[in-house]
Structure 1
C-alpha cells in the first residue's frame, strides 16, 4: 500500500517534531514536514539531516489552514492512503505493516484515527436506582442526557456507569471528532471532505457571531480542525473510525494553539506497546466487518447472511451500516413464510426478509439505496416519508411484522408514532432497530405504551409482541423476548 504522509508543525514550547518524524520513519513511512514560520529551527535542521522533505510556509497559515493545505498538497499525487500527523504525536513502530493488512474497515469510512482519545476507549450505560438497565453502550453525552431525563421524570437516582470498549476499530459515535493527531484517509474521501460545505465554510467551533466573523476575516486564527473533520464526515454520511487500543500517542506538554497539555482526555489511556505486534492484539476482534483481499466479507458461518452481505457490498454499500448477524437471527426467528411485512429503511435486511416471507414492502428515503434494494423510494416530507402512488401503496390490510429502521439518523423516527395503529392488527410484531440509542429506545417505549403491548429488548433490537392471553403460557422464545435487557 502506497502512503503519502504529512506532518504539520508550528511554533510551540518544548517542540516534539523530531520525535514524531523519527517514529514515522521507524514505522516505515516517508514523511513530509509542512512547517509554519517560526517552527523550531533545531528540529527542522535535524529533519534536513535525516533527508526528510520540508515544505516551509512563507506566511503564517494557522493550524487550520496549514492542515487543509497539507491535505491538498498530499492529494497532488498517486497514493492508496494519505496519513496526516500532528507534530506532537508518535506512532507504533509496526503501524504501517498493520494498516497495510487491515485497511479499510468499511467502504464508507471517512477517516481512520490511529490515535484513540481516552473517552473513545470507553462506553457508558445508564441504570435505574433499583439496578435495572435503562440503556447501554452509549456515548458519554447520551448517557448523561438519558440519566438527566430519567431524574426529571421523577425517578431520580439514575446512575451512569463506565466500561472499557472491546478491542477493535470502532465508530467514533459522535457527530464531530476529538483529536486529529494521526488520521488516515482514502484519497477520494479526503477530497470530498475538503470540498464539503462544512470545510469550505469553517470558521472554528463555537463563539458568537462577531467572534466567527473576526476569525473569518483573519483565517490564521481558525482552529478545531478535528471538529471540522468529524462534522464534514457526518455531512457526507460517512463513518469515522478509531483504533482501540491506540496505535499512536499524544506526547506534547504544551499545545501550539492553546488547547492545553496531553493529560486527561487529551491522551490515549490504552496504547499497543511498541514491543507488541498490533496484528496479535486485533486478530480476535469481530466487532466490525473487515474485507479480505478479494473484497469479500469475512465469513460468519451463516450462508444466507454471507450471500446477502456479498450482494450488498458488491453494489458499493457498506455492510457495517447494515443489520448485524445477531439482529438478523433475532428477526429471522420472528418471520414466517405466510407473512405480509413492512420495513421503514432498506438495505441488507430487505433482501434477507424478502427471501423469508410471501410479501414484503420496504420504504426508503435514499434513491440509490431504494433502487439497489428494490424498495419504494419515498423522500421525506416533514417528519415522515411522502408515500407517492408510484408503486405498492402503503395502505391496505395490516401487516404481520413491521421493522422500523428509518428515517436515517438518531431521533428521526418519531413520525411513526402517530401512524402505527392503522398498520397493525392484534398479532402484529413491531421491531425497532438501534434501541441502544436513547431516542430509539424512548420511541420503542412510546409505541408499546400507545398499543398497550409488552416491549422486550434483544441486543440492538426492541421487540413489541402481541399481548399474551391471560390463560396462555408464553413459549420459551416469547418469554425471552419479553425481558427488557440484553
Structure 2
C-alpha cells in the first residue's frame, strides 16, 4: 500500500479494512512524515527518505514487491484511501484470473463503469483515459511486462506533471499498447474514501470517484 500525509488521514481505516479483507501484514510504502498508529507499528514499512510523488512511490513499490517475491502468482498494490469488501482475498483466489492473458485487474470500479452490468469481470478499453488506481492486481507475467515497458520507465522523465501522477493513465495506456485486457469487477470490491487528495487538491470521493455498487462483503 502506498501512503502519504493527508489533511484528513485515511490510512488507519484503510489498513484495518485491508487486513480484515484477508491481506495480513501488508507492506507500506510511505512518504516522509506519514503518521501511523501504534497498533500498525509491526507492519513492514519501506520509508522514502524524501517526497517522491504518487507515481514514483507506486512504481518503486511494485518493483520492490516483485524483487522480494519473484515467484508470486499475483501482486496487489493499493492506495491509502480505499476500503475493501470483507472476504475479497478469498473470493479473488477462487476467481482469478478472468482470462489466460491479463494486463491488470482493478478491483475498484468507478460508478460510470459499473452501471447496468452483471456481476463478474469486464474489460475496459480507455487507454490513457483509464480511471482509478486505488487497487490494482497484476499477474507475475503482467507485472514484469509493465515494469519493463517504456511507457512506465519513461513516465517520470517525459510524462505530464513531471511524471509524478497519472498512475491509472499509465496502466491503461500500457494495456492498450501491449494489447492486454484491463479488467474491472462488478460489483466494486473497493470503495474510495478519501475526502482530500495527495495529488489533486480540489478532489474528493464523490460523483464518479465513488463506487456506487460497492459491497461491504463478498464470498
Report the TM-score when normalising by structure 1. 0.42
Higher relative contact order (CA 8 A, sep 6+): 2
Alignment pair present for 1:188 and 2:181: no
Q: Distance in 2 between matches of 1:10 and 1:172?
A: 29
Q: Distance in 2 between matches of 1:103 and 1:205?
A: 34
User: CA offset at residue 52 of structure 1?
Assistant: 1.2
| 1:33-88 CA-partner distances (Å, limit 9, x unpaired) | 1100121x2x254420xx21111111111111000000000001131110001000
Whether contact under 8 Å (1:253, 1:261) holds in the other structure is: yes
**Pair 1:224–1:247, CA change in 2 (3 A):** same
For structure 1, which runs of at least 5 residues remain unmatched after alignment?
A: 1-6, 123-163, 207-211, 279-486
Q: Distance in 2 between matches of 1:166 and 1:183?
A: 21
Q: Aligned runs of 1:367-446 on 2, under 5 Å?
A: none
Whether contact under 8 Å (2:56, 2:156) holds in the other structure is: no
User: CA offset at residue 204 of structure 1?
Assistant: 9.1
**Secondary structure of residue in 1 paired with 2:40:** helix
Among 89, 92, 102, the residue aligned to 2:85: 92
**Pair 1:81–1:225, CA change in 2 (3 A):** same
**Pair 1:237–1:69, CA change in 2 (3 A):** same
Among 116, 123, 127, the residue aligned to 1:171: 123
Q: How big is the alpha-carbon RMSD for the aligned residues of Structure 1 and Structure 2?
A: 1.8
Whether contact under 8 Å (1:205, 1:223) holds in the other structure is: no
Whether contact under 8 Å (2:3, 2:30) holds in the other structure is: yes
Among 192, 197, 211, the residue aligned to 1:250: 192
Whether contact under 8 Å (1:204, 1:224) holds in the other structure is: no
Q: Which residue of 1 aligns with 2:171?
A: 229
Q: Distance in 1 between matches of 2:64 and 2:120?
A: 31
Q: Distance in 2 between matches of 1:231 and 1:103?
A: 22
Q: Distance in 2 between matches of 1:33 and 1:56?
A: 8
| 1:257-308 CA-partner distances (Å, limit 9, x unpaired) | 116001001000101233xx34xxxxxxxxxxxxxxxxxxxxxxxxxxxxxx
Q: Distance in 2 between matches of 1:204 and 1:91?
A: 33
| 1:368-389 CA-partner distances (Å, limit 9, x unpaired) | xxxxxxxxxxxxxxxxxxxxxx
Whichever structure has more strand as a proportion of its residues is 1
Larger radius of gyration: 1
Q: Distance in 1 between matches of 2:99 and 2:74?
A: 14
Q: Distance in 2 between matches of 1:12 and 1:270?
A: 26
User: CA offset at residue 188 of structure 1?
Assistant: 1.7
User: CA offset at residue 201 of structure 1?
Assistant: 1.7
Whether contact under 8 Å (2:125, 2:176) holds in the other structure is: no
Runs (4+) of structure 1 moved beyond 3 Å?
A: 203-206
**Pair 1:258–1:45, CA change in 2 (3 A):** farther
**Pair 1:252–1:100, CA change in 2 (3 A):** same
Q: Which residue of 2 aligns with 1:20?
A: 14
Whether contact under 8 Å (2:29, 2:61) holds in the other structure is: yes
For structure 2, which runs of at least 5 residues remain unmatched after alignment?
A: none
